[in-house]
């Protein structure tokens, strides 16, 4: 059983989607830790209500950045974390964590990267930008995390159509439904060690059933 740490700053709907799939056994893992910069967010409330350990990681608690980063590394090590899943986490992952957990940190972004990604593109801002661009499609991207926002090797992308009468809110709902399907699928593949690299690009290995 793999051990997962969730990093979240808001309501944590992707966290909850992944958690439910671990409970049913679809994902062969357990969520062992939830990390957040926001002690009052929905993700922390859900974690505490379901007896999942939490760790608050912000400047209020740890004013010294170096101490912050050391404490985060220590709690991840103590929790024996195999995989970190970002689920609406609004902060840059510290360099020491990116290096230590290379190709073991997943992020999901609500657009088809590299379009509408990078610093400043988060939440509803992404969908508003997609609508304003008159794009005919959007979707989700799951990728490994590196030292840049919404960067790193892309594992999978899934698309949704953008219709002429879509608003940013309508598009956000379409994409969120897709996120809750795609993200657990990728986490499952990671936990089953089915994400492989070919020509330095990750792909999900499909196991054919007899």
CA distance 53 to 55: 7
Please provide the distance, in angstroms rounded to a whole number, between the alpha carbons at the two ends of the chain.
Answer: 25
Catalytic residue among 109, 127, 143, 180: 109
Instruction: For residue 33, list its beta bridge partners.
Output: 5
180 given a catalytic annotation? no
Q: How far is CA 59 from CA 32, 43, 69, 91, 208, in A?
A: 23, 19, 11, 12, 48
Structure-block tokens of residue 174: 């379409």
Where in the sequence numbering do the catalytic residues fall?
A: 109
């Amino acid at each position: 059983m793999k051990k997962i740490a969730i990093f979240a700053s808001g309501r944590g709907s992707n966290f909850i989607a992944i958690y439910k799939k671990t409970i049913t056994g679809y994902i062969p893992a357990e969520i062992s830790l939830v990390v957040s910069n926001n002690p009052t967010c929905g993700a922390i409330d859900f974690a505490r209500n379901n007896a999942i350990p939490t760790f608050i990681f912000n400047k209020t608690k740890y004013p010294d950045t170096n101490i912050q980063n050391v404490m985060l590394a220590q709690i991840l090590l103590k929790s024996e974390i195999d995989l970190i899943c970002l689920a609406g986490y609004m902060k840059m992952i510290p360099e020491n964590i990116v290096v230590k957990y290379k190709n073991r940190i997943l992020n999901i972004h609500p657009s088809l990267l590299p379009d509408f990604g990078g610093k400043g593109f988060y939440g509803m801002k992404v969908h508003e930008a997609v609508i304003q661009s008159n794009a005919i499609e959007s979707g989700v991207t799951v990728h490994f995390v590196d030292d840049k926002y919404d960067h790193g090797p892309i594992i999978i992308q899934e698309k949704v159509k953008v219709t002429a009468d879509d608003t940013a809110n309508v598009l956000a709902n379409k994409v969120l439904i897709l996120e809750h399907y795609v993200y657990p699928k990728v986490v499952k593949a990671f936990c089953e060690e089915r994400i492989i690299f070919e020509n330095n690009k990750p792909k999900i290995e499909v196991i054919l059933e007899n």
